[in-house]
Amino acid sequence: MKIDSQGMHYKVLNQKINEAVIQGITDIELFNVNGQRYIGDGLRKEVRINVHGVPGNDLGSFMNGPVITVNNNAQDAVGNTMNGGKIIIKGMAGDVCGYGMRGGKLFILKDAGYRVGIHMKGYKTLNPIIVIGGNAGDFLAEYMAGGVIILLRMFGRNDHNNIIGDYLGTGMHGGTVYIRDGIDKKKLGKGVGVSEPSAEDNMLIEDIIKEYAADMGLDAGKILNEKFEKLTALSTRPYSKLYTY
């Protein structure tokens, strides 16, 4: 199904998408998207939504199941508290993407903004994954409690000094961040440790990158050529010493 979103209020557009999903349509193509918010918000069906144009904030928030492909850039809060499904951004994405993410995958081709993957969760088989092809802003993985973030630093603006923001992983108490091509230790938040990925880690990275490369039309081998470093929390209770009673 094709929907021309030109000049459409987000409420109307999302209503149309929702109606289509209820009717059982599984492929939806949106044209002329221009900042409409909440596309795919709360959708709980396995549908494919292909977005042409730039979707607005909160793309795919709270969703559980859909696969959303954006052929351009996206804005802030992509995949906010998302539960399952997949979002593929073939451009850049804004701030607070994947906030409180609980499951599913968020693949970004180029740079992502500030505070990405904050408070990501994970429990046993529920393991959200974010891959950022370019750079990331400050506070990446802050308060991270579970899941996986992979930062490739390959396809963004090529400013090598600024390749990742400050306070990386501040308050992290679970989950893993893998960074390709080494990181500047100065950028690390308190309480985060760097180590070599294990064989198991490398297998996980390989699986994820193969899927990412296929979605983005990239050469996985080239991405995997470089070494990755692994970031984990040094303590599961980073703030426990702060308190008394």
Q: Which residues bind other proteins (CB under 8 A)?
A: 10-11, 14, 18, 37-38, 41-42, 44, 57-58, 61-64, 76-77, 80-81, 83, 95-96, 99-100, 102, 115, 118-119, 121-123, 126, 142-143, 145-146, 171, 173-174, 236-245
Closest to other proteins by CB, 23 vs 244, is: 244
* Alpha-carbon span 172 to 182, nearest angstrom: 19
Q: What are phi and psi of 63, to 5 degrees?
A: -80, 160
User: Shortest distance, CB of residue 7 to other proteins, whole angstroms?
Assistant: 19
Q: Write out the two tokens for 11.
A: 């409420």
Nearer to other proteins, 84 or 224 (CB): 84
Q: In angstroms, how far is CA 131 from the centroid of its own chain?
A: 6
Looking at the Cβ atoms of 152 and 172, the one nearer to other proteins is: 172
Give the shortest CB-155-to-other proteins separation in angstroms.
25
Rounded CA-CA distance 238/232 in Å is 12
Q: How far is the CB of 70 from other proteins (least distance, A)?
A: 17
At closest approach, how far in Å is the CB of 235 from other proteins? 9
- Residue 190 Cβ vs other proteins, minimum distance, rounded to whole Å: 14
Give dist(CA 78, CA 37) in Å, integer.
Answer: 10
Report the distance separating Cα 215 and Cα 120, nearest Å.
23
Dihedrals φ, ψ of 50, to 5°? -110, 120
Nearer to other proteins, 90 or 173 (CB): 173
153-158-164-166 Cα dihedral, nearest 10 degrees: 180
Q: In which residue are the tokens 């579970």 written? A: 146
Q: In angstroms, what is the minimal distance from the CB of 161 to other proteins?
A: 25
Rounded to 10 degrees, the C-alpha dihedral 139/167/136/67 comes to -40
Q: In the complex with other proteins, which residue's Cβ is closer, 18 or 71?
A: 18
| Closer residue to other proteins, CB minimum distance, 20 or 224 | 20
